[in-house]
């Protein structure tokens, strides 16, 4: 190849052109940069001559050369085989799994309600949100919700206490009683 020096007017045109748009703004500009970098790497042109030809500073030329080499290495890196999952497909897959889990949960809840009805248990009410005073107690923990058995036991204790005040014998006990059929013997 014959080395030619650009004329002053063409150098000014290149400088004006590169100021109007960043280098590699168009494919033709990118091709010019690539050709100049390859010429330097092949030893045909020196880096200062290439930067002067492109109308950029020498440090900027070295930046572009480094980017070009990084791109070359990245393009030659082995690619994974097969179709690669995209983030959009992963989101769609997770949304399908979430919907399937919600359907399974609703099915299990329906089975629990059906089982409770068939056994004769009262369906538990859905928990309501705690009152605002309970959540701002300062401890940072929710207060413990009373169990149904505990409520029944408390009601029985209140009934026994009111019966004791009035003088009536208690009619209920906290302990479960065995059916009386006379089959049990009293042991001394």
pTM (two decimals): 0.35
In this structure, the answer to whether residues 70 and 113 fall within a common structural domain is: no
b/e burial code for range 129-139 (CB count within 10 A of at least 16 → b)? eeeeeeeeeee
Q: What pLDDT is attached to residue 111? A: 93
Q: Is 55 part of a structural domain of the chain?
A: yes
Q: Is 152 part of a structural domain of the chain?
A: no
Q: For the chain, what is the domain count? A: 2
Q: Is 150 part of a structural domain of the chain?
A: no
Q: 109, 123 in Cβ contact below 8 A?
A: no
Q: What pLDDT is attached to residue 148? A: 72
In this structure, the answer to whether residues 102 and 49 fall within a common structural domain is: no
Q: What pLDDT is attached to residue 2? A: 47
Local confidence pLDDT in tens for the 188 residues of the chain? 444 544 444 444 444 444 444 555 666 888 999 999 999 999 999 999 999 999 999 999 999 999 999 999 999 999 888 888 889 999 999 999 999 999 999 999 999 999 988 888 776 656 566 555 545 555 678 777 656 776 777 788 888 878 877 877 655 555 544 444 444 444 54
Closest CA to 63 of 22, 26, 27: 22
Q: What pLDDT is attached to residue 13? A: 44
Look up the domain containing 34 and give its range. Answer: 11-76
Q: Is 5 part of a structural domain of the chain?
A: no
Q: Is 21 part of a structural domain of the chain?
A: yes
In this structure, the answer to whether residues 30 and 65 fall within a common structural domain is: yes
In this structure, the answer to whether residues 58 and 92 fall within a common structural domain is: no
Q: Would you tell me how many other CB atoms lie within 10 Å of the CB of residue 24? A: 16
Q: What pLDDT is attached to residue 15? A: 44
């Amino acid at each position: 190849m014959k080395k030619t020096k650009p004329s002053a007017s063409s150098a000014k045109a290149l400088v004006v052109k590169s100021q109007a748009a960043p280098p590699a703004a168009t494919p033709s500009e990118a091709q010019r940069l690539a050709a100049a970098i390859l010429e330097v790497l092949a030893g045909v042109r020196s880096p200062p001559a290439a930067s002067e030809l492109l109308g950029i500073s020498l440090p900027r030329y070295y930046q572009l050369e480094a980017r070009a080499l990084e791109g070359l290495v990245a393009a030659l890196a082995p690619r994974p085989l097969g179709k690669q999952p995209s983030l959009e497909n992963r989101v769609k897959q997770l949304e399908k799994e979430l919907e399937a889990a919600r359907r399974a949960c609703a099915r299990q809840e329906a089975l629990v309600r059906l089982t409770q009805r068939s056994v004769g248990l009262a369906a538990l009410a859905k928990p309501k949100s705690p009152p605002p005073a309970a959540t701002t107690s300062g401890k940072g923990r929710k207060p413990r919700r009373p169990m149904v058995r505990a409520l029944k036991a408390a009601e029985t204790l209140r009934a026994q206490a009111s019966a004791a005040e009035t003088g009536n014998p208690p009619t209920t006990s906290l302990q479960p009683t065995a059916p009386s059929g006379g089959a049990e013997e009293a042991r001394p």
